[in-house]
Amino acid sequence: MIMACTSNTEVQSKMLIVADHLENCVGVGPQSCMLIKENPEDEWTFFYDQIEGFKYEEGFTYELLVNEIPVPNPAADASSLRYKLKNIVSKIPTLDNSELIKEWAVIKIKGLEKLSSSPTMIFEKEDAKVVGFAGCNNYFSTYTVSGNTLSLGPAGATRKLCPDMSVEDVFFKNLPNIAHFEIVKKELYLYDQKDELLIVAISE
């Protein structure tokens, strides 16, 4: 956190992640609220206020640096804080998730120089499932996607043993670390929270 002091108030700077859509909420009355969180792993929460200097557009996920400013003697039904935009760190358009819903053949995995077998990832729209071949066993999991963020739930798999389990072991090790994705033409790039490339896959 970055702290700055003034004569009457203490201003705190913080990062906010803003979702790509509004949702109905009830503050003083019915209204449409932005959804915000401070960390990628947090749950979305309603934001009932406005951010001074920020013009929101649906269809984009934002990372914002804002000043959180205490309000002296706020009204009974008013917030004790006001927010002012310092900087738009990122503004990422919502991807058409239908681009993800297909079968992908993995061609690169972090931690392996070569693949002795070829895992697959099949993203299914129904029930938000991802299934495929891990290198030895078939596996299944669930996924959640919002904008370009992507996370996979715990994976289950068949229990066959193969002479070489190296690809499957490293593949399963990387799956829980997936945080966001990028699709360029027919290539799928999967990254962790530090933007380190974990998996590259291609579609036909």
Residue extents of the structural domains in the chain: 2-93, 97-202
Query: According to the model, what pLDDT value does residue 58 have?
Result: 85
State the Cα angle at 160 between 155 and 166, rounded to 5°. Answer: 70
* pLDDT exceeds cutoff 70 at 7: no
For the entire predicted model, the pTM comes to 0.57
Beta bridge mates, 4: 11
Q: What would the mean pLDDT of 125-131 be, rounded to a whole number?
A: 92
Predicted pLDDT at 59: 82
Determine the CATH number of domain 97-202: 2.40.128.270
Strand-strand pairing, 10-18 and 30-37 = antiparallel
Flag whether pLDDT at 69 surpasses 50. Answer: yes
